[in-house]
Structure 1
Amino acid sequence: MSNRITAILVAGALLALAFALNPSPEKHRARITEAIGERSQLQRVLGIGHLTSFASTYHSLGVVSYTTVNEKVTSVGVMGMVFVAD
């Protein structure tokens, strides 16, 4: 019985932590700009990352968030980290 309660408490703490660390729209936009700039110097100079991040739409599902541009998922965020799609 004690192991079950511990497991429930740990799962609850992880869920609360995921809600608290869900990346903000600003964090998604900063990571998109950075990732696009890393891929190409020309895109960095032309500001393509800034344009893409400006055009993105932020969506939050509580513990996970994502951004889209033209109905295509651009970035996914979870537990304070943001991953940009290629």
Structure 2
Amino acid sequence: MRSSRFIWFVAGALTVALAVFLNPSPERHRDSIKARIAERSELAALLHLGDLVAFVSNYHSLGVASYTTVNDRTLSVGALGVVFVLDQSAGK
């Protein structure tokens, strides 16, 4: 019984450590934002609007996950090395 608990503890600790290690960096968030904005509009890509939005975004880390905001609106979320850029037009 004790060895089973120890194995679960070690597995949990390794999972948390891996999540912290794979937490996306600010650059990874900004690159994903730039790419997503360029995909949405050729004009935005031409004017490099993604660069501007990525530049003004604020990065927040929660240790095992992270997110970026602009004007108190969440722009992207990331965990385990993956960044998801949220669709801001969905709420309009």
TM-score, normalised relative to structure 2:
0.89
| Cα drift, residue 5 of structure 1 | 1.8
Which secondary structure does the structure 1 equivalent of 2:68 belong to? strand
2-structure distance, mates of 1:5, 1:38: 47
In structure 1, the partner of 2:60 is: 59
Number of aligned residue pairs: give it: 86
1-structure distance, mates of 2:74, 2:4: 39
| Cα drift, residue 8 of structure 1 | 1.4
**Alpha carbon RMSD of aligned pairs, Å?**
0.9
Which secondary structure does the structure 2 equivalent of 1:68 belong to? strand
Percent of matched pairs sharing the same residue: 52
TM-score, normalised relative to structure 1:
0.94
Q: Structure 1: any 5+ residue segments left out of the alignment?
A: none
| Cα drift, residue 37 of structure 1 | 0.7
The structure whose Rg is larger is 2
Which secondary structure does the structure 2 equivalent of 1:76 belong to? strand
Q: Structure 2: any 5+ residue segments left out of the alignment?
A: 88-92
